[in-house]
Amino acid sequence: MSALNLPTYETKICERDGKQHIFDPLRKCYVALTPEEWVRQHFVNYLVEHKGYPTALTANEVAIKLNNTNRRCDTVVYDKALQPRVIVEYKAPTVKITKEVFAQISRYNLVLKVDYLIISNGMQHYCCKMDYEKQSYTFLQEIPEYESIIKGENGELRTENL
């Protein structure tokens, strides 16, 4: 797999039925190693090891119901009261992050109503803080620490209207 714009870590990779699998510590099992999964595992490791996100409050492949269809959020981070606070959407490194990707994560947010949306393709990372009162969002300069998400602090960069 390709190098990413994320800290490296020691991955656990095995081969099954001629295909590579990577260990997902959140799901506690090996999953098919795709380019998107490579990004997910590195990004989750970054959140846990560098930003203080608790593994016990972070989940991969979270099922939601959207317009009577089943969908899955790539990663959801919860607060200590088990309320969703962050949705993370991953794309393969070769996939450009476009308005369509933001539209996808925004649709998921219609269900979960989180405070932060994060999108990463492993090379570029975007994070925005939602402001439901003003019906706007603010792009942040960096991914916030878990404690600042819980306390509501942020490093605001600019605001866009929804």
Give me the chain's average pLDDT, please: 91
**Residue 57 pLDDT:** 97
Which candidate, 44, 155, 56, 156, places its Cα nearest to that of 90?
44
At 139, list the tokens. 């792009």
Number of domains forming the structure of the chain: 1
**Residue 151 pLDDT:** 80
18 occurs within a structural domain = yes
Range of the domain at 71: 13-161
**Residue 54 pLDDT:** 97
Q: For residue 86, what are the β-bridge partners?
A: 77, 116
4 occurs within a structural domain = no
Residue 68 scores a pLDDT above 60: yes
Cα separation of 4 and 31, whole Å? 19
Residue 154 scores a pLDDT above 90: no
C-alpha triplet 88, 157, 104: angle, nearest 5°: 30
7 occurs within a structural domain = no
pLDDT in tens, 78-119: 999 999 999 999 999 999 999 999 999 999 999 999 999 999
Residue 158 scores a pLDDT above 70: no
Q: For residue 73, what are the β-bridge partners?
A: 62
pLDDT in tens, 8-20: 999 999 999 899 9
| pLDDT, average across residues 55-60 | 97
Cα separation of 125 and 118, whole Å? 7
2 occurs within a structural domain = no
**Residue 152 pLDDT:** 63
Helix (H, G, I), strand (E, B) or coil at 8: coil
139 occurs within a structural domain = yes
Give the domain CATH number at 97.
Answer: 3.90.1570.30
pLDDT in tens, 33-44: 999 999 999 999
